[in-house]
Amino acid sequence: MTETLTGATTVRAPAAAPTLTGPGLLTVLLAAALPLVDFFIVNVALPAIGAGLHASEAVLELVVAGYGVTYAVLLVLGGRLGDLFGRRRLFIAGMAAFGVTSLACGLAPDAWSLVAARAAQGASAALMLPQVLATIQATTTGGRRARAMSLYGATAGLSMVIGQILGGVLVAADIAGTGWRSIFLVNVPVVVLGLVLAVRRVPDTRSRHPEPVDVPGTVLLAVALLALLAPLTEGRATGWPLWTWLSLAVFPVTAWAFYAVERRADRLGHTPLLPPSLFAAPSLRRGLLIIVPFSLGFSGFMFVIALSLQQGAGLGPVAAGLALAPMAVSFLLVSLIGPRLIARFGTRVVATGSALQGIGVLLIALAVWLDWPHLGLGALLPGAAVAGAGQALQLPNLMRIVLAEVPSARAGVGSGVLTTTQQASFALGVATLGALFLSLIPHLGMRDALLAALVTQLGAILVTGLLSLRLPREVG
């Protein structure tokens, strides 16, 4: 801020808006990758974790669910805290906590210690990740924002696939005898590098009109998400005891109570955790609706294919991870041209992506039908490559569409809503598609159970494609 004197009057020029430089963007994208990599990295490591810690199937489900549930429950709160106390401060605190909790996961002496550390790791990720999107929204405009959002979406998609590839490589490498522990310990040096870059390169932003934390809304949202996700992720492994059914019965009641409390607060001019008025923007409302089936189907697929390739096709963790490498490569290449395609053809690119993804999954199903159990990189390459290209036309563009009309003052809230929707859908996908797959194995065998899961995913892809036809044609 500068000052000039005119007579006896001091005029203060407004401070220049903070700008996210290239190194700063690289830093926040690194932080965006970490939580997603860690959600998927355990898929191929679960057999090794179970053997190393003598963990039951129910406890292994908690290793996955403990992270996903706390992550999903706290994301909106993390976005609000960034708006209130400063996004850079919360970003650095969340990243540091993510490093500490990753170390705790890697050093866990028993299965329940790992479950607790994973839950804490999910909570720290919920503090860090919303600040990424909020910082991009607050420090970029126009073409720079479009490119940054496309890179964010590409990072998110690649992280999901690379997580499973990296997990397989690290488990097999058994670095210094660490075995599965290396999938968590590898985060520590990455976090140290990220913290150094964040202190130097990430600008500090916050809402000009920070809103206090909505305690009733936060509690009700947490209860609603826990009531839904906890029984779905643990029900099958524990035999669906009474508490799971009671919890599912509680969910619609708490969800309705949350909406009623938030709507009333919004109407009275207060500051709800999730303002219903935010959903007045068609791009946000319709984009979120599409992200649900997309994320549900994709996360379920990643979980199911990891188990099938290792326990059914007999592949090692490295081969199981690398079988999905064509998906990562095609996703990267196609996502680079995504901004140009959507600028020329509008949101119909998303529907095209759904069609491509559906063709890819059909090709994977055909390979399973013809080649089982001799699956590997060669058999899965055509389907994985086409599916990855289709996903690249959907996910980065959907994220950009969802946030296109969210004002910078509510960037933290908007990013929290987006990431919560995505993460809750990931957890639901693993729980529902995974439960379907595992329950069918004793009756149909693994090949036909996998085919049933792939057909179910095709249904989710069809829903995604049909919903995408209702998107606003142009992206702001």
pLDDT of residue 320: 79
pLDDT of residue 448: 92
- Please tell me the least confidently modeled range out of 218-232, 280-294, 396-410, 442-456: 396-410
Angle, alpha carbons 109-111-116 (nearest 5°): 90
How far from 425 is each of 124, 232, 402, CA to CA, in Å? 19, 12, 16
Q: CA torsion sign, 256 to 237 to 166 to 319? A: negative
pLDDT band of 365, cuts 50, 70, 90: very high
The overall average pLDDT reported for the chain is 84
List, in sequence order, every residue forming a beta bridge with 6; answer none if it has no partner.
9
- Please tell me the least confidently modeled range out of 80-89, 193-202, 385-394: 80-89
pLDDT digits over 116-128, tens only? 999 999 999 999 9
Residues 296-312, mean pLDDT to the nearest whole number: 85
Contacts of 199 (CB under 8 A, 6+ apart): 92
Residue 299 has pLDDT above 90, yes or no: no
More confidently predicted of 185 and 204: 185
Instruction: Tell the residue number behind the tokens 């693994």, with chain if given.
Output: 446
Long-range contacts at 45-54 (CB < 8 A, ≥ 24 apart): 45/167, 45/168, 45/170, 45/171, 45/180, 45/183, 45/317, 46/307, 47/310, 47/311, 48/171, 48/179, 48/180, 48/317, 49/111, 49/114, 49/180, 52/179, 52/180, 53/108, 53/110, 53/111, 53/114, 54/111
Residues 223-241, mean pLDDT to the nearest whole number: 83
Greatest mean pLDDT among 15-24, 151-160, 183-192? 183-192
Please state, in angstroms and rounded to a whole number, the distance separating the CA atoms of residues 202 and 134: 12
Residues 301-305, mean pLDDT to the nearest whole number: 86
More confidently predicted of 223 and 277: 223
Neighbours of 474 (CB within 10 A): 12
Residue 271 has pLDDT above 80, yes or no: no
pTM above 0.95, yes or no: no
pLDDT of residue 73: 79
Rg from Cα positions in the chain: 22
What share of the chain in percent tops pLDDT 90?
Answer: 26
pLDDT of residue 409: 65
pLDDT of residue 109: 93
List, in sequence order, every residue forming a beta bridge with 12; answer none if it has no partner.
3
- Please tell me the least confidently modeled range out of 11-25, 53-67, 218-232: 11-25
Residues 124-151, mean pLDDT to the nearest whole number: 84
3-class state of residue 12 by DSSP: strand
pLDDT of residue 17: 61
Angle, alpha carbons 110-113-116 (nearest 5°): 155
pLDDT of residue 153: 77
pLDDT digits over 444-456, tens only? 888 999 999 999 9
Residue 362 has pLDDT above 90, yes or no: yes
More confidently predicted of 34 and 209: 34
3-class state of residue 9 by DSSP: strand
List, in sequence order, every residue forming a beta bridge with 10; answer none if it has no partner.
5
From 24, 218, 48, 260, select the one nearest 131 (Cα to Cα): 24
